[in-house]
Chains A and B, each alone.
Chain A
Amino acid sequence: MTDPTVAASYLKLSGVHKAFGAFTALKSIDLDIRQGEFVCFLGPSGCGKTTLLRIIAGLETPTAGRVEQGGRDITTAPPAERDYGIVFQSYALFPNLTVADNVAYGLVNRRTPRDDVQRRVTELLKLVGLPGSEKKFPGQLSGGQQQRIALARALATSPGLLLLDEPLSALDALERVRLRQEIRALQQKVGVTTIMVTHDQEEALSVADRIVVMNHGVIEQVGDAISVYREPATPFVADFVGKVNVLPGRIATGELSVGTFRLRNDATARAADGEVKVYLRPEDVLARPTRGGAPSFATDDPNVFDAEIEKIEFLGSFCHVHVRSDAFAPNRLTVYLSLNFLTEQALSVGSMLRLKLLPERLRVF
């Protein structure tokens, strides 16, 4: 990971606070975003992520705090005096202007020569993968195409910062997956510092350099996709990003007891004594069949236990399998098993499984 003193911060938020009347939308937000970074603000609706984006855009003014972009204090600068392009959830394309006029909207005002404008429009439309659509009206394009035009319009003036406010939420599932990769590729090609607001954790995990997980107006965690997923800093992050089993546990003199298991590691050693919650990802439990010829886990392994399948939730290539085990009774566990595994082993409700915990993956709060 890079040393923050080496990579200069391009956008710097310090102590940003926003209150709407009695409601506090943001509580002292501190954040540094580096040049060329793709950052996602991730959180449930009402967590303050859009408000934060609008403060960066100058569409809201913070109650307190400071916003700096490229070393310039822009806390109270009106939007027109800032340097960014923005794509809204609704795209806000001008419906009565052609695609070319939409993309050129910000260029024309800067007294750019007409030929240059035209060249830039052609170039941008090629960049977003819609060459030749200059003469069309936004209404004649699909949602995904409109989205790309909005992107081209936002990038036309080569802004230093690209803001995306839930740009994919109005699209259907397939289009979303395709477009988010396109946005990522485009961002890397152009190299523009980008902030995307989203409530879709999968979207954030798949495109962002860093994810800012927010809840109730505070930042819960900032980190890259792997660290947010594998090392959630708070129970909220563990719960919101990915699926997780929550089990009651207990720490006594540096040892964690959860179900029939006793674990001791650096994390448990540091934890204070008392009741805790243990977070365990479904994929952090490995499975083998109990019968049949396939080699199984050694029974003397302290992390191995047997369980019975209670319910199978079919989700395609993977299934959520709800299991019951004496080791964790009365709590149930959810594990991920591939469909192939289930069919090959002829597993169904009532079948027995041998499972193995990956103790280093347990998170204790």
Chain B
Amino acid sequence: MTAVTSPGGEAGAAAPAATRLVQRVHWSDRVAHVWLVAIALLLLAFLAAPLAAILMQAFEGKDREFVGLSNFIAYARTPALLSSLWNSVWVSMAVTAITIPVAFVFAYGLTRSCMPWKPLFRGISLIPLLAPSLLSAISLIYWFGNQGIAKGFMQALGIQQIYGAPGIVLAECFAVFPHALMILITALSLADARLYEAAAAMGTSRVRKFFTITLPGAKYGLLSAALVTFTLVMTDFGIPKVIGGNFNVLATDVFKLVIGQQDFAKGSVVALLLLLPAVFTFAVDHYVSRRQTAMLTARAVPYKALPSKGFDRIMLLCCSVIALLMLAMLGMAIFASFASFWPYNLTPSLRHYVLGLVDGEVGEGFINSLKMAGGSALFGTLLVFFGAYLLDKTKGAPLLRGPVKMLAMLPMAVPGLVLGLGYIFFFNAPGNPLHGLYQTTALLTLCTIIHFYTTGHLTAVTALKSLDSEFEAVSASLKVPWFRTFWRVTLPICTPAMVDIARYFFVNAMTTISAVVFLYSPETKVASIAILNLDEAGEIGAAAAMAVMIAAISAVATGVFMLLARWVDRRTQAWRGPR
């Protein structure tokens, strides 16, 4: 025998941990590190620094001196502001209490029944995502406003006027519905059929199965949906601005304090208050998503609904009512946008469109919006995907990876309003070398990319995780640097995910208000902001028309992205074989 083995022999003594062996870094890995540093710097400059600026403002006085908690104390002594805090909280709770059960029923119908027209219902439920949230507020004004066609009906129910809390609650329910719905659909589709089969074998009733299997299984989804709903309502700006009337909430307070009164200190205190529920939601969601995936083991059998006439009919009825309400919301906005002179002359005309596009200068706004949306879709997708690749697939630089990962997840916990405010404080500071970016389309685009970074990042990470983890090891053994494999293998395989990310960036950039409301100049004003200005000027018809136009553009863009996805699929996914 020729082997030299000495299990645990004297060679064991030659293994002290005194000099830790470290692998030499290959030049191609250095390239990856440089890129990772670049992305870290970008996230620091456009995410961490603006947030730090808010934090500093909150603790500084008029002459930028440190004043401790006195800004917070001043805030707490302003009764008007405190009442806004209370308003925000109870309105958000009310919306959550209404939306979650409704969305749950809708999701239940979509996932657990055999009712017809499921794709149609799903499509309708996504309508609110296509337009700025304020579309629903405008629509409600036409339904129930001073000249609304159903005002009498509302007053018969005991609500005197739609402006204020009732309008905000109703409009928010519409706006946040798809967000809650998507979480609940995911939670309800993660069901193990074996549990239901076992229960059925023991003769368990449908109701009992619901309370002992379905509801416990969806509890994390419910919790997560409720928190997301609460946070979205707390931090939404467009709806309270349009339909809030004299009913103040935190989001409108920030705007008034910063833009109206130039009180940056109090503004940042409010911004920090807005940050709280978002950070809390983020933390809970992070914890919950781990539990949720752990619940479903690899051996679980996906649940498939069985036809049941009575139950399917009831679900169809419920979902139809909900879908009709959503269509009524969009439909009224469309109808009113074409009405010549509400409510006296309802003959269709393009008056509001002309008024908005030409006189209201929203035409320019649309060009800016398209620039911003296109820029976000292009650069955002590249940045997000490349960043996720560097984090997930390259090696080395462990000290850099943790912080960059955290920065990539952070935007989810930062409401757009807070981010936008941070941008003012940071980029408007005269000493900042990046000051030149302030109020440019470039900064608006960057702000939007950062605002929606996390969802794109998570999509990219999911796509990358589905790839064989040994591609990079094989490439290294063949002496092929990682960027070549990235270009030849990873990128072509992941193009469908990238198209998805691009669509997400585009539609959100078209509809966003909260982050960019602080950052535009007359030259760089985007369409969604222009709508807000039209509404302020009392041109609600034109505002409705422009909101409908954004929805139409978003819908067309979604269609284009879907076609693009199919084309990309055919070009790059031929290897998947016929499907």
Using a CB–CB cutoff of 8 Å, the interface residues on chain A facing chain B are: 1-4, 7, 14-15, 17, 19, 27-28, 30-32, 34, 57-59, 61-65, 75-82, 84-86, 88, 90, 92, 94-97, 105-106, 109-110, 137-140, 153-154, 156-157, 159, 210, 212, 218-223, 227
Contacts and interface: CB of A to CB of B under 8 A. Distances in A.
Contacts of B574: 137
Given A77-B23, A106-B480, A15 B5 contact: no
B473 A79 contact: yes
Interface of B is mostly: loop
B516 to A, nearest CB: 38
A28 B12 contact: yes
B11 to A, nearest CB: 4
B471 A94 contact: yes
Contacts of B11: 14-15, 28, 30
Most B C-beta atoms less than 10 A away, residue of A30, A75, A139, A219: A30
B502 to A, nearest CB: 20
Contacts of A95: 493, 575-576
18 contacts: A4-B2, A28-B11, A28-B14, A28-B15, A63-B15, A65-B15, A77-B23, A80-B28, A80-B479, A85-B477, A94-B488, A97-B488, A109-B484, A137-B575, A139-B576, A154-B477, A212-B3, A220-B7
Given A157-B479, A223-B1, A227-B1, 6 more contacts: A32-B2, A80-B477, A88-B470, A210-B3, A218-B8, A219-B7
Interface in B469-485: 470-471, 473-481, 484-485
B6 interface: yes
B26 A139 contact: no
Contacts of A32: 2-4
Contacts of B479: 80, 106, 109-110, 157
Contacts of A219: 3, 5, 7
A109 B7 CA distance: 42
B478 A157 contact: yes
Given A14-B11, A30-B11, A109-B479, A2 B17 contact: no
Contact of A79 (B2, B477, B492, B573): B477
Interface string B1-40: 1111111110110111101111111101100000000000
B52 interface: no
Contacts of A221: 5
B3 A222 contact: yes
Contacts of A154: 477
Most B C-beta atoms less than 10 A away, residue of A95, A109, A137, A140: A95
Nearest to A222: B3
Interface string B226-264: 000000000000000000000000000000000000000
A112 to B, nearest CB: 12
A61 B2 contact: no
A221 B478 CA distance: 32
Contacts of B480: 105-106, 109
A82 B480 CA distance: 12
Most B C-beta atoms less than 10 A away, residue of A31, A57, A58, A227: A58
Contacts of B17: 19, 63-64
Nearest to B17: A63
A65 B17 CA distance: 10
Contacts of A31: 3-5
B471 A1 contact: no
Contacts of B15: 15, 17, 27-28, 63-65
B119 interface: no
Contacts of A156: 478
A64 B489 contact: no
Contacts of B20: 63
B542 to A, nearest CB: 49
A31 B21 CA distance: 19
A27 B471 contact: no
A4 to B, nearest CB: 4
Contacts of A1: 1-2
B572 interface: yes
B131 to A, nearest CB: 37
B387 to A, nearest CB: 22
A52 to B, nearest CB: 13
Nearest to A220: B7
A80 B16 contact: no
Contacts of A14: 11
Contacts of A110: 479
B577 interface: yes
Given A27-B8, A92-B470, A58 B3 contact: no
Contacts of B63: none
Most A C-beta atoms less than 10 A away, residue of B23, B24, B477: B477
A73 B485 CA distance: 28
Contacts of B7: 27-28, 218-220
A157 B16 CA distance: 37
3 A-B pairs with the lowest CB-CB distances in the bound complex, closest first = A106-B478, A222-B3, A79-B476
A88 B41 CA distance: 36
B65 interface: no
Nearest to A165: B470
Contacts of B576: 95, 139
Contacts of A159: 477
B347 to A, nearest CB: 57
Nearest to A5: B2
A153 B478 contact: yes
A210 B572 CA distance: 45
Nearest to B475: A105
Interface string B362-388: 000000000000000000000000000
Contacts of B573: 96
Given A75-B21, A78-B24, A30 B5 contact: yes
Contacts of A86: 473-474, 477
A109 to B, nearest CB: 5
A26 to B, nearest CB: 9
A75 B21 CA distance: 8
Nearest to A157: B478
Contacts of A63: 15, 17, 20-21
A105 B488 CA distance: 10
B478 A105 contact: yes
